[in-house]
Structures are given as C-alpha cells and as structure tokens.
Structure 1
C-alpha cells in the first residue's frame, strides 16, 4: 500500500501503462510491416525473394507481433497489481481506473488474433 493519499500515484501508474501500450502497439505494427514487406517484395519483383526468405520474414513478423501482445498483457497485469495497492483516497471521485487495463488486454487479444490470421493466411 502506498498510503500517500495522492491521486498522482494513480496517474503515474496510468502514464506508465500508456507508455507500455504505445510500445506494444509499435511492436505489433512493426511485426505487421516486416511480414507484409516480404509479400510486397514478392509482388514487385518475384525473383528477388526466395520462399525461404518469405517464410523467414513471416516468422520474424509474427515474433514481433506476439512480443507486442505479450508486452501489452504483461503491462495490464502490472497495472492491475498497482491498482490493488492503492487506497480509495488515491482515486479521484468518479474516476474509472480500469479502462486502461481493458484497452491493454484488448490490444493483447487483437495482436494474437492478428498473428494467428497472418499465419493462417500464409498456410493457404
């Protein structure tokens, strides 16, 4: 428990959560770009990229996407732990602190769905 009775503790935790949210979204976006770059190269110049390189770009992109999803889920978990340590005095009246938690969990879930969709698309 912090027992500071200061809402700035909550807001600092939220800022940290948002920073991790941006990081996870950046990792997911970068993974998508890496995976799609292989497809773009194949479409522009079919002979320049081998099937092995295309598969390597797929797995590298998927790794970044999954890393982003894991980062988002872990940030949500850490934020939930911090919320449990705060006293009611540290929450402004009528303030809902769980929205950031839900958004991060949604980003994690959607990132995993994106990775699965790209992997299945590659199979067909």
Structure 2
C-alpha cells in the first residue's frame, strides 16, 4: 500500500480530534464543579446567606471557557487538516463534517454554560445584597 493511500493518516487525525474533545469535556466538567463548589460549601455549612467567594466561580468559568475553546480549535484544526489531505486519503465529506459539527456544538454549549455560570453567580450575589439591604 502506498503511503499516499494509507487510511491510518486520517484515522490518526480523527483520534487526535477525539482526544481533544475528551480533554475539553474534562475541563468543562471540572470547571463546572469548581464554579459550584462555593454553593456546595454553603449548603454543607447550612448557611445559605454566607458570603460567596468569587474566586471559585471565576476559576471555574475560566476552566469551562478553556475547555470549550480547546474543543473549538481542535475542530477547526481537524477540518483544516482534512482539506489539506490528498483526495485519495480523504474520507467521505459527511464523516468529517459530523465530527467537526459535533465538536463545534459541544464547544458552543460549553461557552453557553460559562455564560450561565457568570449570570447565575451575579444574580445570586445581587439577590443576597438586596436581602441584606432590607
């Protein structure tokens, strides 16, 4: 088999994309846990009115955004690599599109989660400040 016709080249690129998706999902999950850790501590202490520490929220949001960006960049690099392959090495376009679309959707959902964490942290802080002012 000639090296130009070797399907293992594309399969290696596909495994690399999947590894980045797995890594990004891990970062998103860890970021969510870190962002919500302050809420967990307030529940465990049975002190719902205790002040929150914005550090865990912002570190968690940073991890969520980092994971989402990693997935998006991996999808972009995979598509760029696929277009750079010789025609004999390419898979059907639908196979590549599904992988890239899936990764981009996960990336967008992760970015939406990061936005949600920021908005919910700000609204919780605003609600607590209003309750203290009364």
In structure 1, what is the equivalent of residue 74 of structure 2?
75
Name the residue aligned to 2:31. Answer: 31
1:117 aligns to 2:116 (yes or no):
yes
Gaps of 5+ in 1: none
- Give per-residue Cα distances to partners, 1:49-86, cap 9 Å, x unaligned: x636x211000000000000110111011101100111
Q: Please, which runs of 5 or more residues in structure 2 have no aligned partner?
A: 124-134
Task: For residues 68-120 of structure 1, give each alpha carbon's deviation from its aligned partner in whole angstroms, at most 9, with x where no partner exists.
Answer: 01101110111011001112211356862221111111111001000001111
Over the residues paired in the alignment, what is the CA RMSD in angstroms? Answer: 1.9
Q: 1:69 to 1:92 in 2, by over 3 A?
A: closer
Aligned residues: 119
CA displacement, residues 3-43 of structure 1 (integer Å, 9 cap, x when unaligned):
71221111110000000000000000000010111110011
Distance in 1 between residues matched to 2:93 and 2:80, nearest whole Å: 21
Instruction: Give the Cα–Cα distance (whole angstroms) in 2 for the partners of residues 28 and 93 of structure 1.
Output: 30
Give the Cα–Cα distance (whole angstroms) in 1 for the partners of residues 14 and 51 of structure 2: 44
Alignment of 1:1-124 (within 5 A): 4-45=4-45, 51=51, 54-92=53-91, 96-124=95-123
Query: Could you tell me which residue of structure 1 aligns to residue 126 of structure 2?
Result: none
**Higher RCO (C-alpha 8 Å, min separation 6):** 1
Bigger Rg over Cα: 2
